[in-house]
Structures are given as structure tokens and as C-alpha cells.
Amino acid sequence: MKSHYRVVVIGGGVVGASVLYHLAKMGWSDVCLIERSVLTAGSSWHAAGGFHALNADPNIAQLQSYTIDLFDDIQEESGQNIGLHRTGGLTMAGTPDRWEWLQSAYRTFQSIGIHDCRLVTVEEALALNPIMSGDGLLGGMWADREGYIDTTGTVHAYAGAAKKRGATVIEHNRVLELNQTLQGWEVITEKGTINCEHVVNAAGLWAKQVGRMAGVELPVSPLNHHYLISDTIPQLEELDFEVPMTVDLEGFTYLRQDQKGVLLGIYEVNHQHWMMDGAPWEYGFELQQEDPDRIENELTMGFERYPCLQEVGVKTWVNGAFTFSPDGNPLVGPVPGKRGYWSACAVMAGFLQGGGVGKSLAEWMINGTPEADVYGMDVARYGIWAENKQYIKETTGQFYTRRFVMTYPNEQLPAGRPLKTAGAYADMSAAGCQWGRSWDLEVPLYFAEPGFVEAPSLKRSNAHEIVADECQAVRNGVGLLDISGFSRFEVSGPNAEKWLDRIMASKLPAPGRAKLAPMLAEDGRLKGDLTVFNWGDGTWWIMGSYYLRTWHMRWFDDHMMEGVTLRDLGEEMAGFSLAGPASLNVIEKLTDGPIADLKFMGCGSFDIGLLRCKVGRLSVAGERGYEVHCRAGDHAVLRRILLQAGADAGIREYGFNALLSLRLEKSFGIWNAEFTQGYTPGMTGMDRWIDWDKDFVGKSAAVAERDGNGPSQTLVTMEIDANGADASGFEPIWSDGVQVGFVTSGGFGHTVGKSLAMALVDPAHSRAGTEVSVHVVGVERQARIIAASPYDPDGKAMRG
Ligand SMILES: Cc1cc2nc3c(=O)[nH]c(=O)nc-3n(C[C@H](O)[C@H](O)[C@H](O)COP(=O)(O)OP(=O)(O)OC[C@H]3O[C@@H](n4cnc5c(N)ncnc54)[C@H](O)[C@@H]3O)c2cc1C
């Protein structure tokens, strides 16, 4: 065994093998995979091997699509048969809402370039899968490329193809210990020690322990999962084709053909965790005892959906474990704070997602960033709070139970909540606050009368009018919003300004001023839509999206320089925002400081009642506004005094649902919608904040975009002739039957009385007045591009 490799991948399941393959394919052949037992000896050997395209996160759906296309390549490259059966796939809907959801999911697929799908009637579906009963079904979606593979063959194909490109696979060699060194990692194995620059945790069922070897507590847990393989089904013997991979969402089952029988997999509503601290080291090719009682309901539904199962016996039961993160998506990428330690864990559907995970991780390691926007599976989307075992148990359990349950966009799920609450939480709850979750924090959505319950809906919900009233209150008077859910980083030290000037693409604000600041990656794509504050005393703040705290901190750390002190103030600071024409009247009453002189985008420290606060004059609502930041412990007092001072002006508390509507009326983009790490400054209009005269991270790529042929897409605002439902994101936009773009976010503009959306469209269709159409909840609606900022286009209200 060699004593040095550039990369050591721990784990020879489908994920580790795919990572190895992609590293070798991209030119890093000094890489080795270490497997405790033999390849496939974790979850991989007993997987059902099915692959289908659907995923709620369009970026992950794209990576799944990549994996599906990779199967032929690895089979050919390795010469290893992977038992590829491209039977096509059906996803069936059994409730009216689900059928609507599936129709919009189909449109999302079109938006992201997956075109080999089509909607089918129940009759068509029954012709495609004749052993299925159509009872209760309303329609389905067909996908050409779906099917199943032989799991062991597939892992060996990845590993074989990697070996052909120079990679090494070492079996029967457990990794015992990991020690961080100056150059990377010392990997202590049963067969000796290896030094490497990078180590990848692809240890599947043992990911928890391999994380702990590096002092990392990954939010991952195994859960048990059942499938059965039936005896031969006479009906199938008579068919001259294989039945497609079929998912019955309302029945909690998936099915594929297995020789002349079928494999029926069950997503158990009554879920069961297994070995939350990781599988025992001696665990190998054994399975858990099947437990038909636990899955009786789902089994009954499955046997009713496929009546032929009632006539034949069960040949084999499989009850095995695989791993889940709290939101069910993988945990991929560089682990914050552990240089050279990479996660490729919690890959729930390794055969479906493993290719995309391997590709992204290899690109990340070799090029510094993955090609796709992989935020949805980035290990840095969680914070330290997600290390808690009870949190992991509740959230992974919730995900598993709801795997085939439809989640509505306005639905709030209870697991792991409430976790962190701001100081005024109890008072705000008493005032009727309905809460949502951002990362670990409870954030206000809107304020309702006692007993109000919002019905889950794909369309406008019964909270629509409440949110409308809150929007009007902000536009016409003054509103109060809890902004504890913004991130705040403090930058100080002798090189603070120099560092900020390098990582932000904009000019820095003068003392006592704030400025919008795009932050770019080296490849010129966006890394943040931030606001920088210069407090004038040598300290600066960076403000952004709260849920990106770890993600941004990892980026800042990776680009740090001597002489800079950076602190995440997320646990220390909280705040409220006053917005609306009467906001000055309210805040003026509470301070003898020169608050009335504070110009738009000005900032400073003020006494606010008894409290010492930092105040910035800006608002996401597009009104005159004051963001008031206080110590976390002062939050309840700050709320009380602001409400008291605003009583005469009819101050009204509002939530983020109203803010999202108000910002849409101003065409203000937000992260994860208009701005993502997949988009560039030119596409999104962020280029208008760039200071082209200075040097900054990502400049050469940004200049290349500016001086090239221009961006391929342009961010626009649209008005939709909607009917009871608004766009939400990823809906395709059409002109004369040709797709010309997609929605980035949408909603109702309550004070302009229009259904609005922001969208990326090809530049030829970006002019105001251009008529287009857009699918909203699966229905095509007329729409048109309008000038940006339908409310107060000149910005008079916010400049005051
Ligand atoms: C019943 C069932 C059905 C499934 N059906 C499907 C399906 O249809 N489609 C699909 O895509 N997915 C399916 N899955 C999920 C799939 O099995 C997993 O997503 C996948 O196997 C995960 O692969 P992995 O490489 O991450 O982990 P694993 O397969 O668990 O591999 C991890 C490997 O790491 C090794 N290892 C761990 N620690 C060490 C160490 N210290 N030193 C050296 N080696 C170590 C282990 O021995 C193991 O081989 C199913 C799972 C189950 C249980």
C-alpha cells in the first residue's frame, strides 16, 4: 500500500465509488478508495436499484438526470454489466392537489431542460403498466429514461472505470483514525498509514463515526426501509415488455419488475431509526428482520394497487437501512472548519444521485467550485444546532414519513421546532404571530386572530387577505418587522477595509453609510447579495441571509487575510425594522440623536429609549425605513418601545410573507431565487453595483462577461393574468410555444393589485411590453414583461 495519495475516499459504496470515478475522470488519478470490507458492503448491495427523475429541488433533479445519463458511460468504460433496464417510469397522483402538483412539477422539468417526460391519463398509464389498478388515480407523469440497474454491478462499474483511469481501490481495510496535519490528513488504517491532502467521508451507514474521527458531528441518521420481491406473476409472463418503474405517491410504494415478478418498495409512515450513532463495524451483509405489521397499511395499499400481488407469494423480504439528513438531501462538500475534509454522506438515493454527487464533489475539489448550484445538498446548509441527536431524530423521521406526502409551499412542518426563538417570541406569539422557520430560528410570517389556521394550498391561501392588510399598513403608515432573521457579521482589525474591498465586488461605503455589495466566486458567479455597513469607528458589518450563516462563514474563512477579525453576530444581535412613511415619526420619539438627518443608506449608533442600538436607514419593503439592531437580550424591550411609540401612527406588526410581496413590488431580488451561485452579475442586474476600477475576487470572469456577448438571460419583472394562484419559482415562460425563460420567484403584489413574478428570460424577450405566457400551478396564463419596480419606480418613498 502506498503511503501517500492526493485524495483518500473512505467507503466503497456507490457514492464513494462515484467520487473516485469522477476525480480520476477529471484528471486526479493519485486517488484511492479504502473499503472496510468489500465494495457495496453498506447500504449499496441491498438497494432496489431504481432510478427516477422527480425531486422537489430542481437543482437536485438536474443532478439526478445527470446520473441517469451516466449509466451507459460507466458500463461502457468499465466493461462491467450493470443490468441496466430503461423501462421508463410512471409517477401517479391520487388526489386533486397532487395531480395539480404533478402537472406543475412537469412544467418545472421543462424549465430545467428535462424534456423526456409527459403527462399521461390514467388510461394511458394503465396501458403502460397493465398490472396496476387505476382506482383512485387521477393522472400521472411518464419519464422515458427511468428504470432500474443492478446495484452491485453499478458500484463495480464506477470503481472499475476509475481504476482504468489510474485510481486505486483497497478492500478489507478499515480506516481507524484520522488526524489533521499541516498538509492535509493522516489516515490510519488496518493496513498502515496513508497521508493525503484531502479525505472524503463516503462511509454511508458509518458516516457518523467517520465524521467523529475528524471531530465532525454530521446531521445524518440511518432509517430502516422495506421492499419485497414477489414470486413469478403470470400476467408478467404474458407481456412482451417490462412494466415501468412506477411510483404511487398516495400509496407510499414504488414498484419495478424483477425477472417475472416485481419488487415493491414501501415508504413506511411509521418510520424506524436504526443505529443513530452509525452501524456496528462488524455489520456486513445481514439485514433486519422484516416487520410486516409496521407496514400493514402501506402493504395493503400496494396490494390493492397491484392486485396480482394478492395471487402470488413473497419470494424475498428486504428490510435494510440507509441514511438521511434532516431535509433528505445529501450532505456534500468541504466541511466548515476542517480544511481538506469532504463530506459525501446522507445520500438517500445513491444510485439515483450518486453520479451528481461524485461529479459535484470532484469539481469542487479540483476547480474550487462545482458547476451546478448545489446549495440544496451543501453540507454547510446546516449549523451547529443540527448536531443535536433529538433534532436529527425528529427531522430525519419527519422526512422519511413524509417522503411520499405532498408538502405545500405554505405548509409549516413541526419537527425540530421551535428551536431558537428571538427575545420577543412570547410577546409576538401573544399578538397572533404565525411562525415559520429559517435555519434554526423562528421567524414571523404574519399576524392573525386567535384560532386562525392556514389551510395548506398550492394557490392563494386563506392568509391572503391578512397579508394584504399588512402590506397596506406598511405602504400607508408604518409596519414593524422582527429582523432577527438577518445575518450579521462584524469585521474589524487593521486590514478589515482591505479585505472587504477584495471580497466585495462593489465600492465600499463611506463612514456612516451602507451599500449593497455583490460578492463573487472566482468564476464570476454570485456568492452573496450582501449589504456592507461602515460604522465609522473601524468596524464594519456584512448583512445577508440568516440561513446562509455557515455557508458564508466558510467562504469568508477560505478567503481570509491577516489582520482581520471576523465575528458572526448571529447569536448576539437581533432587531426590528420600521418601514413606511410614518417610520421617522415613530423612531424620532425615541431618540435625541440626529435620526432625522440620517440619509437613505446612512447608518450609525443611536440611543433608542433605554437601549443603545445600531440603526441603518434602509428597508427591503421599499419604503422609508429604519433597521434597528439591538443586543439579543434587548429584543423584547425594543419591540415594546417601538410599538408604544408607534401607537398613535397605528403601527402594525407584519411578517415575512408581507415583506416578500412588498419587495416583489419593488423588483428587489432575493437569494435562492433571483440570486444564486448559479447566476452571474450580468444576468441578474447585480453588475450595476460592481466597481470595475478596483480589483476583487471574480473580477476577470466578471469582466469577461461584461465584455463578451452579454449574459444569456436577463432578469425581468412580469405581470401575470393569474386566477387565484401566483407563480412561485421555476415555472416555464413561453413565447409562441417556444420556452424563453423561467420564473425565479412570484407572488401577489397586494398594494399594486397584480400577480407579479421575477424571471430570467432570454434578452430578446426582456423588453417591457413583451407578451408571453407562463404556467402557474400547471395552467398556462397570459403574462407580460413590465418595467422594473411596479411600485414607486423612482424610489421616492424609500429615499423620503
Ligand atoms: C432497502 C433499500 C432500498 C433502496 N433502494 C434504492 C433505490 O431503489 N435507488 C437508490 O438510488 N437508492 C436506494 N437505496 C439507497 C441506497 O442504498 C443508498 O443511497 C446508497 O447505497 C448509499 O451509498 P453510500 O455509498 O453512501 O453508502 P454505503 O453503501 O453504506 O457505503 C458505505 C461504505 O463505506 C464503508 N466504510 C464505512 N466506514 C468505513 C471505514 N471506517 N473504513 C473503510 N470503509 C468504511 C462501508 O463498508 C460501506 O461499504 C435503498 C436502500 C435500502 C436500504
Closest to 3 measured CA to CA, from 195, 181, 175, 234 = 195
Determine the residue of 351, 379, 400 to mutate for testing ligand 1's pocket, defined as the one with the most ligand atoms within 8 A of the Cβ atom: 351
Q: What is the pLDDT of residue 613?
A: 98
Q: Could you report the per-residue pLDDT of 132-174, keeping only the tens digit for each?
A: 999 999 999 999 999 999 999 999 999 999 999 999 999 999 9
The DSSP output letter for 338 is S
Residue 347 Cβ < 6 Å to ligand 1: yes
Alpha-carbon distance 385 to 390, whole Å? Answer: 11
Where does 224-349 have alpha helices with state H? Answer: 234-238, 296-305
Q: Could you report the per-residue pLDDT of 664-718, keeping only the tens digit for each?
A: 999 999 999 999 999 999 999 999 999 999 999 999 999 999 999 889 999 999 9
Determine the residue of 43, 342, 403 to mutate for testing ligand 1's pocket, defined as the one with the most ligand atoms within 8 A of the Cβ atom: 43
Question: By the 8 A CB rule, do 57 and 112 touch?
Answer: no
Give the nearest ligand 1 atom to 350 CA: 19
Max distance between CA atoms of the chain, in angstroms, equals 88
Give the nearest ligand 1 atom to 41 CA: 49
The DSSP output letter for 503 is H
Give the nearest ligand 1 atom to 176 CA: 41
Question: CB count, 10 Å around CB of 266?
Answer: 23
Question: By the 8 A CB rule, do 774 and 783 touch?
Answer: yes
Dihedral sign, CA of 309, 315, 317, 322? negative
Alpha-carbon distance 742 to 730, whole Å? Answer: 5
Q: What is the pLDDT of residue 189?
A: 98
Q: What is the pLDDT of residue 454?
A: 98
CA distances from 386 to 12, 85, 435 (A): 27, 39, 20
Q: What is the pLDDT of residue 114?
A: 87
Residue 15 Cβ < 6 Å to ligand 1: yes
Q: Could you report the per-residue pLDDT of 43-66, keeping only the tens digit for each?
A: 999 999 999 877 778 888 888 989
The pTM of this model reads 0.97
Question: CB count, 10 Å around CB of 768?
Answer: 12
Question: By the 8 A CB rule, do 347 and 357 touch?
Answer: yes
Residue ranges in the chain modelled with pLDDT below 50: none
Determine the residue of 9, 21, 40, 44 to mutate for testing ligand 1's pocket, defined as the one with the most ligand atoms within 8 A of the Cβ atom: 44
Q: What is the pLDDT of residue 54?
A: 72
Q: What is the pLDDT of residue 62?
A: 85
Give the nearest ligand 1 atom to 14 CA: 25
Q: What is the pLDDT of residue 52?
A: 84
Q: What is the pLDDT of residue 130?
A: 98
Residue 148, helix vs strand vs coil: strand
Residue 34 Cβ < 6 Å to ligand 1: yes
The set of residues, in sequence order, having a beta carbon less than 8 Å from that of 681 and lying 6+ positions away, is 505, 518, 520, 524, 526, 687, 689, 690, 702, 705
Q: 3-state DSSP: the chain helix, strand, coil percent, rounded to 5?
A: 30, 30, 40
Q: What is the pLDDT of residue 749?
A: 98
Residue 46 Cβ < 6 Å to ligand 1: yes
Closest to 93 measured CA to CA, from 247, 244, 243, 245 = 247
Question: CB count, 10 Å around CB of 697?
Answer: 19
Give the nearest ligand 1 atom to 351 CA: 11
Question: By the 8 A CB rule, do 34 and 175 touch?
Answer: yes
